[in-house]
């Protein structure tokens, strides 16, 4: 399967939808979309495409190790 590429606005939109889905599923979580976006937007210029994928995968691996 080919890897799909998204522009920043599409990525941002997917993040907003995912965050709202989490908020609706877990009513007890106090998540603010605007606060999330204020953390997300600087990442666009902070990391390169490949670097951000590696960093995200490292965070996921760390989380998995903590659960074990």
**Quick one: three-class SS letters along 1-21?**
CCCCCCCHHHHHHHHHHHHHH
Does a structural domain hold residue 1? no
pTM of the model: 0.75
Does a structural domain hold residue 2? no
Q: What percent of the chain has pLDDT over 70?
A: 97
Q: Side-chain half-sphere of 13: how many Cα atoms within 13 Å?
A: 5
Does a structural domain hold residue 51? yes
Count: domains in the chain = 1
Domain span including residue 53: 8-67
Average pLDDT for the chain? 89
Does a structural domain hold residue 12? yes
Does a structural domain hold residue 46? yes
Q: pLDDT tens digits for 22-41?
A: 999 998 988 899 999 999 99
| pLDDT score recorded for residue 2 | 66
């Amino acid at each position: 399967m080919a890897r799909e590429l998204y522009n920043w606005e599409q990525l941002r939109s997917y993040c907003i939808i995912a965050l709202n889905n989490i908020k609706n599923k877990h009513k007890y979580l106090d998540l603010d979309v605007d606060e999330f976006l204020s953390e997300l937007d600087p990442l666009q210029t902070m990391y390169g495409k490949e670097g951000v994928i590696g960093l995200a995968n490292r965070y996921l691996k760390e989380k998995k190790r903590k659960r074990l």
